[in-house]
Structure 1
Amino acid sequence: MGEVFAININESINDSQFQYLLSIITENKRDQVKNFLFLKDAQRTLYGDIMIRYLACQKLKINNEQLVFFHNEFGKPYLLNSSEFYFNISHSEDWVICVVSKKEIGVDIEKIKPIDLGIAKRFFSKNEYENLLSMPDNMKVNRFFDLWTLKESYIKYKGTGLSMPLDSFCMSIDDYGIRVISNDKKHLFFKQYSLDKGYKLSVCSEENEFSKNIRYLNLKNVIQSLRLQSTSTL
């Protein structure tokens, strides 16, 4: 089952707690976090990594120090410890989202903001663009972000990054549900969640079974759990 977890980066933690989180990630990731100019960018990257570690430890009953990650040729991360633990991360503004499943999965979250619909003409398929234009004016921006997050969730499920053009496949949204029209032979499933006013969140999965609701993680509780786990292995 695809499960969706969220952390709000505005949750307050002290410097000691922040430094602890930095201490339990890889050196490369730590350097990446420290090189960000703005704190919120650092928080989004750090908390995403911590969410993966916390969830993997909880579900696989192993310690953070045992986790081994690798990346495919396009940069999508995987966990070597288990062939039945797949994950994906997305973040936008105040939210960091992590999805986990026993099969491949992808997620995208975007903050809704005024948008030049010319972007859709450039990046969307012809059918998607025509569908967007057919919407009432007051619904066009919402539909744009519906399509954008669905398309991004599919690309992130595939793990191909920018090597797959956004206009090389088409998302269909109608009374029968959401589906992707592409050369993909697998039957894929999509779900959208209501997270926070002003955001769109879409998930793509090989399984037609999703958690009903988003599980909101408390960062302080996550830190406490990781610390207790580390202490118990001493």
Structure 2
Amino acid sequence: MQALFNPLIPQHSWPPGVDLWCSGWQVLGDSVRQACAAALSAEERERMKAFLLPGAADQFLLARALLRTALSHYTGLPAADWRFRAGEHGKPYLCGPAHGGPALHFNLSHCNGMVACAVTTISAGLGVDVEHTGRTLDFTAVASMVFSPEEMAQLQALPAAERRGYFFSIWTLKEAYAKARGLGFHLPLDALSFDRAPASLGVRFSERWPDRAEGWSFSQHRLSASHLLSVAIDRHREETIPLRFQWRSPQSLPAAAGLTGEG
């Protein structure tokens, strides 16, 4: 995928490849919370009340507001009108309202201080994963469960100071692919192996998971000093897939969704 950062995306036009909408935050003010909440459905606002930690509630709120704002940017429909359903293994899909254009596919990811939403019309096989690379994690133990033998050997051959970075680069790629397939942890992650060549990202599938490597496109990007993002998409005969980044501050989301700060 070829990346363009913050290009102008005209309203009511469709993404030519994959559009990545990102937002980072530390603390949300009450006025921003109230305005963003106006973009959510009643069911989402009820779900938000279940979070015990304010940071987790803010993360959920910002993710849903960013998704709804992005979808409305293309269609002009009110942000609060979008309806979603979950697939067999929990992957969310759009189920309304009708907007008169091509089918919009999306995927969401969020972690400490960062939210990312990927949108495309190319394929429902779209996945995005963003991770905070500084979080506390026994990454060697996790790798032993989800890395292929080749990836595990590469991890162990690296100097200790480089292993964390390598782990998260592989982990986010596997997560993005699993989310694109809509299978989550039902997929044997150790059955696929990534090659992080300088010029491209390649994948190999074992006989336990016989997918077509040439059918997928991957991209990886550093969003901040501590946030790494990976994207996976089933390319559907597309030779080149442009990737456009759109950064939105939490404060800008209510205005972008056509809402006031009094919602």
TM-score, L = length of structure 2: 0.79
Q: What residue identity is the alignment partner of 2:132?
A: K
RMSD of aligned residue pairs (Cα, Å): 2.1
Matched, 1:142 2:165: yes
Alpha-carbon distance in structure 2 between the residues aligned to 1:174 and 1:95? 27
Alpha-carbon distance in structure 2 between the residues aligned to 1:158 and 1:28? 26
Preserved contact between residue 79 and residue 85 of structure 1 (Cα < 8 Å): yes
Preserved contact between residue 5 and residue 215 of structure 1 (Cα < 8 Å): yes
Matched, 1:29 2:44: yes
**How many pairs align?**
227
1:232: which partner in 2?
none
2:227: which partner in 1?
199
Matched, 1:48 2:31: no
Matched, 1:6 2:22: yes
Preserved contact between residue 191 and residue 210 of structure 1 (Cα < 8 Å): no
Matched, 1:160 2:183: yes
SS at match of 2:162: helix
1:118: which partner in 2?
141
Equivalences for 1:171-210 in 2 at 5 Å? 171-175=194-198, 177-182=200-205, 183-185=210-212, 187-207=215-235, 208-210=240-242
CA-CA distance at 1:163 after TM superposition:
1.1
Preserved contact between residue 115 and residue 141 of structure 1 (Cα < 8 Å): no
Equivalences for 1:35-74 in 2 at 5 Å? 35-74=50-89
Preserved contact between residue 131 and residue 228 of structure 2 (Cα < 8 Å): yes
Preserved contact between residue 11 and residue 219 of structure 1 (Cα < 8 Å): no
Q: What residue identity is the alignment partner of 1:224?
A: A
2:250: which partner in 1?
219
Alpha-carbon distance in structure 1 between the residues aligned to 2:23 and 2:80? 22
CA-CA distance at 1:168 after TM superposition:
2.7
Q: What residue identity is the alignment partner of 1:167?
A: D
Preserved contact between residue 90 and residue 98 of structure 1 (Cα < 8 Å): yes
Matched, 1:101 2:120: yes
Relative to structure 1, is the Cα distance of residues 159 and 99 closer, same or farther in structure 2, using a 3 angstrom cutoff? Answer: same
Matched, 1:76 2:91: yes
Q: What residue identity is the alignment partner of 1:105?
A: L
TM-score, L = length of structure 1: 0.88
RCO greater where, 1 or 2, for CA within 8 Å and sep 6 or more?
2
Provide structure 1 residue ranges, at least 5 long, that are not aligned to the other structure. Answer: 230-234
Moved more, 193-202 or 77-86: 77-86
Preserved contact between residue 177 and residue 232 of structure 2 (Cα < 8 Å): yes
SS at match of 2:243: coil
CA-CA distance at 1:165 after TM superposition:
2.6
Alpha-carbon distance in structure 2 between the residues aligned to 1:12 and 1:228? 17
CA-CA distance at 1:83 after TM superposition:
5.0
Q: What residue identity is the alignment partner of 1:86?
A: H
Alpha-carbon distance in structure 1 between the residues aligned to 2:68 and 2:126? 17
Q: What residue identity is the alignment partner of 2:67?
A: I
